[in-house]
Amino acid sequence: MTNTSQIEYPFYQQVAKDLVLFTIMDEQGIPTPQGEDGQAAMPFWSSEEKALAFIQANSGYQNFKPYKIDYEVFKDKWFEGLVQDDLLVGLDWLDATENACVTEVEILVREVQNVIKSQPLKK
């Protein structure tokens, strides 16, 4: 089992640095697989490369393509939809297993905002 902090912290750091995140999509939309507890999660990755690696490593996702989301758009538009749909968010999944890292969207946004606030101002 993976220690989720080893996934979460680097995810938040990368999203705060690049101000983008990725999900995957096919002609039917974005997947929202359910975990053992019945709670659905929408997966997100901190880089396009990680999203592509997930697609290549998981046979059920071969028709999916990475979909780039600007962080501000995620925070302003996607956040509310995820909350309304009662979806968790998956972070940098390597494979589609019960051990995949999931959290609440409120935590994702709060932690990315904390990293952004802690960064030195650009000159």
Give 42-83 pLDDT, tens digit per residue: 999 999 999 999 999 998 999 999 999 999 999 999 999 999
Q: What is the pLDDT of residue 119?
A: 81
- Domain 5-116, CATH among 3.40.50.1780, 1.20.120.790, 3.40.1350.90, 3.40.50.720: 3.40.1350.90
Q: What is the pLDDT of residue 3?
A: 63
pLDDT (tens digit, 9 = 90+) per residue, 5-52?
789 999 999 999 999 999 999 999 999 998 888 899 999 999 999 999
**Residue 123 confidence (pLDDT) above 60:** no
Of 103, 106, 77, nearest to 92 (Cα)? 103
What proportion of the chain, given as a percentage, has pLDDT over 90? 78
Higher pLDDT, 92 or 95: 92
- The domain segmentation of the chain, as residue ranges, is 5-116
Tell me whether residue 114 is exposed, middle or buried, using C-beta atoms within 10 angstroms of its C-beta: 0 to 12, 13 to 18, 19 or more: exposed
Mean pLDDT for the stretch of residues 102-122: 91
Of 98, 111, 101, nearest to 43 (Cα)? 101
Q: What is the pLDDT of residue 1?
A: 38
